[in-house]
Amino acid sequence: MRPSILRRLLRSIASTAVLGVVAATPSTVAAAPPAAAAGGLQQVTGFGSNPGNLQMYEYAPAGLPAGAPLVIALHGCTQTANDYYTNSGWPKYADLWKFAVVFPQTTSANNSLSCFGWFDPAEDTRGKGEAASIVQMVEHAKQQYGSDGRRVYVTGLSAGGGMTADLLAAYPDVFAGGSVASGLPAQCATSQAAASGCQTGPQKLTPGQWGDKVRGSYPGYSGPWPRVAIWQGTSDYTVYPANATALRDQWTDVWGIGQTPSSTTALPGNTTRSVYNDASGQPAVETYSISGMGHGLAVSPGSGTDQCGTTAAYFLSSICSTYHTGVFWGLDQGAPGGGGEDPLPAPSGLKVTGVTGTSASLSWGAVAGASSYAVHRDGSKVAQPASTAFTDTGLSAGTAYRYTVAAVDASGAVGAVSSQVTATTTSGATGACYTATNYAQVAAGRAHTTGGYVYANGSEQNMGLYNVFVTHTLRESPAGWFVIADTGCTA
């Protein structure tokens, strides 16, 4: 018997100890048949040498333009590609925002519970097994659809989430971002015996030690790291919430940022989003903690733009995680331009010119050929003014909002998206303003340091490196609560 076949047989026999989704009952252990094409879901064969013995399914909306993003979506144990296609909500946003989705599928031939091998170095490391098969699917889809290789993303649930983290670590040159739902940190387990221990409580490692597991997955890599979203229910007793903390520690360390959030926002479905910005002020890691939710992918059935999915086993009604993940990645901005012509460039100089307790004012540079500008707040379009300034009203006090702007030409084609800025509304009457270096702001008690970075007291906004070369203006309102107000700060 060949070693690879023997290894798969041993994994199958012992796989009931690796639950990636739930402790299986006898009825769920039965081998599930391969997913049949359902609606627009199509199977692809001959996508590569396929060392991981996976199946490839894909969905692409009608009218998919060249240069569109590509998403890889990994199911959980006991599930199929068809389950994930049907219930996760990804086809809805593929249609709405125009991108292709690949749904890899493993079967009971690899693992009796159809779990991806997130715990097996022969399957989840660079150039090996299932991980290599998934990357072959990426390359096949890029050639088939002309997808933008700079905008390839991967997401997964449970065992699929664990494999997602491993893929991000092993192939940061392939994936621009990832989303781990009820999953595990990269390389948490390197043997099947250690897998169940990761699920109930990963090793108590420092952020640096967790980060080393990522850095060690592709030694010598010096390019940009993927941006990572982490979804976790607080009542998950299959993959415990400690895994979300470990994931946060792991990826913030890889990015070289602290574990104190830059902002925290309440979302629907008893969800709390915490954002960890990079040194340029852009979100690098986001965590979504869903109070009271158990093990599964968060969905929110309905027809609203921010609603998606179907409730089923391990698809739990709470909030549409797929929508918020897509917004985090920027998929809602779509493929720039259209009609075979060069897209309008991104507006330059987007900045916050002022805030109150209920409003935020923005301005940006004009773009030649633009007839209007699409303004997005937290990923949702809120206005399309003809001018290069806009004031967003009806906001909540003391809350951070993220904005981008794109130029729109006379035909309605949307251009490239600007860099993102964050506006934090005041928490009451405007208070005193203080302009000083980061070092001086800390010394004065208006900010504090974590991991070499400075954070404003109260708002926890990331002010950049702890040194005398970076200067910010802080507004205090109310007493002891500071927000960055580099422009428009009025005492």
158 included as an active-site residue? yes
Phi, psi of 317 (to 5 degrees): -70, 120
- Pick the catalytic residue: 15, 88, 133, 158? 158
Element (H, E) at 421: strand 421-424
Element (H, E) at 254: helix 242-255
Q: Which of 100, 3, 79, 89 is nearest to 34 (CA)?
A: 79
Cis omega before residue 478 (within 30°)? yes
Report helix, strand or coil for 297.
Answer: strand
Report CA Rg, the chain: 23
Residues near 304 by beta carbon (within 8 Å), at least 6 away in sequence:
none
Q: How many angstroms separate the CA atoms of 229 and 173, rounded?
A: 18
Written as six digits, the tokens of 60 are 């692409």
Q: Which of 446, 392, 451 is nearest to 424 (CA)?
A: 392
49 near 136, Cβ under 8 Å? yes
Q: Which of 390, 350, 348, 391 is nearest to 368 (CA)?
A: 348
The one-letter amino acid at 74: L
360-363 and 351-355 as β-strands: parallel, antiparallel, unpaired? antiparallel
Describe the crossing of helices 90-97 and 321-329 by its angle, rounded to 10 degrees.
40
Q: What is the dihedral sign for C-alpha 197, 201, 206, 210? A: positive
Residues near 187 by beta carbon (within 8 Å), at least 6 away in sequence:
124, 166, 169, 213, 214, 216, 217
Report helix, strand or coil for 202.
Answer: coil
The one-letter amino acid at 82: N
Q: Which of 365, 382, 387 is nearest to 423 (CA)?
A: 382
Q: How many angstroms separate the CA atoms of 400 and 389, rounded?
A: 19
Place of tokens 């994931």: 247
Element (H, E) at 221: none
Q: How many angstroms separate the CA atoms of 329 and 331, rounded?
A: 6
How many residues in total does the chain contain? 491
Report helix, strand or coil for 9.
Answer: helix
**Residues known to be catalytic:** 158
